[in-house]
Amino acid sequence: MKDEHTDGARVYAELRGADRAAEMQDLAQGTGAEAVIADLSLEFVFGKVWGRGGLDRKQRSLVTIGVLIALRQPAELENHLRVGLTNGLTLAEVEEAIVQTAPYAGFPAAWAAARALANVSSDRKDAPG
């Protein structure tokens, strides 16, 4: 593991699980655009931003979920709805976060987010215990 990835890989494992963190580190050592973005994500997004103090992880998830709903990035939103639940937001809190976006980002964005959460919830029910 590159030294620059140490902090980010630890944070990433806490947010997404050890298996995905290992995959992300493997990806970051490859070549091509995905490898560079994985490398910068581990060092910068997870090591330097998510690793900061001053807001707890549940609060960082609420901000991130708000951003991703407004940006209409459904695939990345599903990832961060999962991260929010891992970070300790209850399902009811994530639902309310989605409702809160409707007047600001508009109903179509909120509907899309509610459907993304339904996908996430059904995956979690199907997963082995």
Closer Cβ to a copy of itself, 13 or 74, answer by number: 74
Cα dihedral 47, 61, 15, 55, rounded to 10, equals 50
Q: Residues 63 to 102: which contact a copy of itself by CB under 8 A?
A: 63-73, 75-76, 92-102
Contact map string, positions 2 to 21, toward a copy of itself, x by CB under 8 A: --------------------
- Cα 82 to Cα 33, 35, 86, 106, distances in angstroms: 25, 23, 6, 22
- Out of 2, 20, 52, 124, the residue judged to bind a copy of itself by CB under 8 A: 52
C-alpha closest to that of 70 among 94, 114, 101: 101
- Out of 9, 28, 85, 105, the residue judged to bind a copy of itself by CB under 8 A: 105
Smallest separation, CB 80 to a copy of itself (Å): 9
C-alpha closest to that of 118 among 78, 68, 83: 78
- Out of 1, 6, 30, 107, the residue judged to bind a copy of itself by CB under 8 A: 107
- Report which residue type is found at 97: A
